[in-house]
Chains A and B, each alone.
Chain A
């Protein structure tokens, strides 16, 4: 009856069972193999068990088995493509959570953002990350394309990959832009009104295109729903499809291109061998991706928490009030700059279309077989020229370039911008001493000598107001729209309600052209508990 316990045999049996289980979970990696991976040892079995997962798992079959060692050096890719994809996944993840709190209707949209910010723990952080990720994705998409262009990586077997990449650039821009409207604030409403009005300039079908985008002649419930559905369904699906093609080409077909100096340079056989060495997905590439992901998440969170990046939110959209300085999102400043140069149809539709077609066609236009910078002077020249043009056009797209805002409007708008805080609204409530402060020849040192804590913020705002009005009044050499001859200006502060003051800024002057007396006046109500930036 009593059988001796054969411990060794039992251990072997249990070990075998565990090993078997582990192999099932890891798609073929036994315990010894896992240990070897973590130690950085070569594979313990043949055929290499680390490749098996690529055939048995769906998610791993689109991942590369290996990249060539020479292609993975940091200065070759700067990991730009990885981070573009990383941000896309960040957007998917945060976007899905944000969808829970969002209602795509003009009555509710803005309220859902307010609710997210005031009533959902980590709601603000999610929104900030979503926005930061979107901007980063645009930047990295562009840099990734620039890198690919400069290393000539779009040539030969990679030309179709480039083609899908241009698609992805467009999808990224439209994803970002379609998300712009959703908060339904002034920024959103007017940026998108301007954006979609460009579609109107398209020849032949402009009106229809505009109507299809907006759902009605003006953006309203229909337009918001359309942009929402584009943002959360159409464009993400398109992005997933095209990213899959784009990535599959890289990971399973042609791999990452080697640096041109390795591919075209004179390498010693040993160096060539080292460059061509395989860097397996498991463990090297996988670990590296995990590391980059941890780094990316850290930077995103630090960006919002530590460096204070915050998604903007202006007043609720008001179709009746056009903001003074309307501004496209920064990645469309170049387009706004072009629009200042000429006709809407030519600059807004025809030239951008030609640019996009040229981008698509680059691999087919550029027949130069070399990839090294030194062997393709024309292509590099064109690239540098394009980047400089983009920067210059973007600068010209800024709201203050080439737009002649009358001096009085400009001065008051700079002190108390329609959106955001600005110097006037930043004045602490206690310093808003009621009174009538007239701009005179002398700028006062202190507006409220009777207060023991003084009012430095109020004084400095009034000083700026005085100085700018006096400058515009006394400088005859300025262009007419910047002049305020015979200017008189006043700042009035009144008690209005409990914890509420009314500030009136008024400038009167004689129009330089006609001599007619003119007045510009703005009133601001400032509450004690308002945000002071």
Chain B
């Protein structure tokens, strides 16, 4: 055989081998593409979790539990089953999340339930609307939120209280409070959303020349502009919690703080919370 013949033979063998490789690869293409899409979805959830944690969890809760009276829960049966019907959204829930996160909310759609953190009720997050996030990041957040769908609990009923609610009478005798339990309550009841994480309500911590809430409570009710009925620091704090509109600190509007805490807390809860607040000097 001449060199030309050898090369033709080898070349044909190589072409056949190449074709074999391509066909073999092609047979697995469907599976590969499906798997890639799955990895991509998983990565979107991971990225979304990170973004949610640093941008959204302050108001909507680390686990999407929301803040009662302020920000709606996202990890919630109602949110997945009925929300888009309620607002009359024609697209999918995921699109609804993307749209809401991108453009924010000027006013709350449920002001008596979730007032939002002021005006606007929720800021715009999309960079097209002056926010800090790109659209792909917002889509990842939406993918992450949608991943709660299967496990979202029904938060429709009011939480079961361990005892009778504390009511709105500020003169009742409160049991001994536990500041450590109070600190947990501050998170679960949503106080931190306005008084710690954001400046929607007066900050509890000391700052800007003012002492912490514990010290302020000790003197506030003795001041001349005070309009409430408290005679002790404990009473002043209880009044602020269960009858928030009797006296509103200057610079904050009325009706900003939800007025139903008297029904959602037991006397023990209130005592714990007050003990915690008094410890913040």
Contact = CB atoms under 8 A, between A and B. Distances in A.
Contacts of A144: none
Contacts of B24: 305
A529 B147 contact: no
Interface string B18-38: 100110111001101100111
A195 B22 CA distance: 36
B2 A40 contact: yes
B136 interface: yes
A412 to B, nearest CB: 15
B136 A302 contact: no
A448 interface: no
Nearest to A497: B147
Interface centre among B21, B38, B45 (most CB of A within 10 A): B45
A109 B14 CA distance: 36
B215 interface: no
A86 to B, nearest CB: 14
Contacts of B38: 529
Interface string A520-533: 00011111111100
B33 A114 contact: no
A496 interface: yes
B53 interface: yes
Given A301-B22, A527-B46, A40 B4 contact: yes
Interface stretch (A10-18, A149-157, A284-292): A284-292
Contact of A294 (B5, B18, B26, B37): B18
B13 to A, nearest CB: 8
Contact of A525 (B17, B26, B50): B50
A117 interface: yes
Interface in A296-322: 297-298, 301-302, 305-306, 315-316
A107 B29 CA distance: 27
Contacts of B50: 523, 525
Interface string B139-152: 00000100110110
B46 A290 contact: no
A523 B49 CA distance: 10
Interface of B is mostly: helix
Interface string B156-169: 00000000000000
Nearest to A288: B7
B136 to A, nearest CB: 6
A306 B18 CA distance: 11
Interface stretch (A120-128, A334-342, A347-355, A369-377): A120-128
A287 B148 CA distance: 63
A452 B107 CA distance: 54
Contact of B33 (A118, A287, A288): A118
A107 B21 contact: no
A498 B80 CA distance: 15
Contacts of A227: none
Nearest to A117: B36
Interface in A260-295: 283-284, 287-288, 290-291, 293-295
A530 B147 contact: no
B203 interface: no
Contact of A121 (B4, B15, B26, B147): B26
Contacts of B49: 496-497, 500, 502, 525
A499 interface: yes
A114 B41 CA distance: 11
Contacts of A525: 45-46, 49-50
B10 interface: yes
Contact of A40 (B5, B10, B30): B5
A531 B7 contact: no
A502 B48 CA distance: 13
Contact of B45 (A110, A500, A523): A500
User: What band does the interface of chain B fall in when counting residues whose beta carbon is under 8 Å from A?
Assistant: 35 or more
A288 B50 CA distance: 57
B7 A107 contact: no
Given A294-B11, A298-B14, A500-B147, A529 B26 contact: no
Interface centre among A110, A117, A306, A315 (most CB of B within 10 A): A117
Interface string B70-113: 00000000000000000000000000000000000000000000
Contacts of B30: 121
B46 A500 contact: yes
A305 B47 contact: no
Nearest to B62: A496
Contact of B39 (A111, A298, A302, A531): A531
Nearest to A293: B11
Given A117-B36, A287-B4, A110 B136 contact: yes
A20 B151 CA distance: 79
A125 B33 CA distance: 12
Interface in A34-71: 38-40
Contacts of A524: 46
A119 interface: yes
A118 B2 contact: no
Nearest to B32: A124
A39 B150 CA distance: 72
Nearest to B37: A118
Contacts of A499: 147
A497 B148 contact: yes
Contacts of A38: 4-5
Nearest to B24: A305
26 contacts: A40-B5, A107-B135, A114-B40, A118-B36, A119-B33, A121-B33, A284-B4, A291-B7, A291-B14, A294-B14, A295-B14, A298-B15, A301-B18, A302-B21, A306-B21, A315-B47, A498-B148, A498-B151, A500-B49, A502-B49, A525-B45, A525-B50, A526-B46, A527-B43, A527-B45, A530-B46
What are the 4 A-B residue pairs with the smallest beta carbon separation, nearest first?
A: A40-B2, A527-B42, A525-B49, A291-B7
Interface of A: 38-40, 107, 110-111, 114, 117-122, 124-125, 283-284, 287-288, 290-291, 293-295, 297-298, 301-302, 305-306, 315-316, 496-500, 502, 523-531
Given A498-B147, A500-B147, 10 more contacts: A118-B37, A125-B22, A290-B8, A291-B11, A298-B14, A315-B43, A497-B148, A523-B50, A528-B42, A530-B39
